[in-house]
């Protein structure tokens, strides 16, 4: 396991038990993002870096009982909290690294990723791995329940032009990783970028 993985696991592992209590008001933003994502009944969707599984119930509602919902996370404590919260009933949970997913090529219709991109050790390669498991024409949603400026303020840092999630950086990053950005919203109350898997 790389040092990056160790750092991510330590960071989220120590915060897992209090994660949902720390951000109790995020539910509506998750619901709105999933609704805008436009999943259909029967779709196969992965919640990449699912954490405590806050999106799983909404994803299950969107794809219905005939769909498939997977939640993958690198941190065992986060997945344990998802189980404790009863979210395992909405989808199957995988202890897995999104850089090396245990999934076949093109087996998914969509990937939803909340707060993930800032924690990827190699964003280009990791987004390519997400593209690998999604069929041509499938979709990706990169979401955060608050926008870039609000997140930077919360973390006590300045927002710089180098921010990977800035539109002028994210568009080319996605394009170089097998995706085409189709929508971008960066508002105080949410960040949501959507993309389509290129053939």
106/130 Cα distance (integer angstroms)? 10
Q: Which residues of 153-170 are buried (b: 16+ CB within 10 A; e: fewer)?
A: eeeeeeeeeebebeeeeb
Q: Are 38 and 63 in contact (CB under 8 A)?
A: no
Q: How many whole angstroms separate alpha carbon 45 and alpha carbon 7?
A: 27
> Which helix (H) or strand (E) segment is 69 a member of?
strand 68-73
One digit per residue, the tens of pLDDT, for the chain of length 199 reads 334 566 677 677 667 677 677 777 888 999 999 999 999 999 999 999 999 999 999 999 999 999 999 999 998 999 999 999 999 999 999 999 999 999 999 999 999 999 999 888 899 999 999 999 999 999 999 999 999 999 999 889 999 999 999 999 999 999 999 999 999 999 988 999 999 999 9
pLDDT at 162: 93
Residue 4 has what pLDDT? 59
Which pLDDT does position 16 carry in this prediction? 66
Burial pattern 35-72, b for ≥16 Cβ within 10 A else e, equals eebebeeebbbbbbbbbbbbbbbbbbebbeeebbbbbb
Indicate the pTM of the whole model.
Answer: 0.91
Instruction: Outline where DSSP puts E strands in 99-199.
Output: 108-114, 134-144, 179-187, 190-197
Q: Which phi and psi (to 5°) does residue 51 adopt?
A: 60, -125
What does the pLDDT read at residue 13?
A: 62
Nearest partner of 78 among 22, 132, 39, 129, judged by Cα: 22
């Amino acid at each position: 396991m790389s040092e990056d993985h160790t750092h991510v696991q330590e960071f989220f592992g120590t915060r897992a038990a209090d994660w949902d209590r720390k951000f109790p008001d995020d539910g509506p933003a998750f619901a709105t993002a999933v609704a805008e994502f436009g999943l259909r009944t029967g779709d196969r969707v992965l919640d990449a870096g699912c954490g405590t599984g806050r999106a799983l119930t909404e994803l299950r509602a969107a794809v219905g009982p005939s769909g498939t919902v997977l939640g993958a996370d690198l941190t065992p404590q986060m997945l344990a909290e998802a189980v404790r919260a009863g979210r395992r009933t909405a989808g199957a949970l995988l202890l897995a690294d999104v850089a090396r997913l245990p999934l076949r090529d093109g087996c998914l219709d969509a990937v939803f990723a909340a707060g993930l991109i800032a924690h990827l050790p190699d964003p280009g390669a990791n987004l390519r791995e997400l593209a690998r498991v999604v069929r041509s024409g499938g979709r990706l949603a990169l979401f955060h329940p608050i926008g870039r400026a609000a997140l930077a303020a919360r973390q006590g840092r300045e927002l710089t032009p180098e921010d990977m999630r800035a539109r002028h950086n994210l568009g080319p990053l996605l394009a170089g990783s097998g995706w085409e950005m189709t929508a971008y919203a960066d508002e105080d109350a949410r960040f949501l970028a959507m993309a389509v898997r290129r053939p």
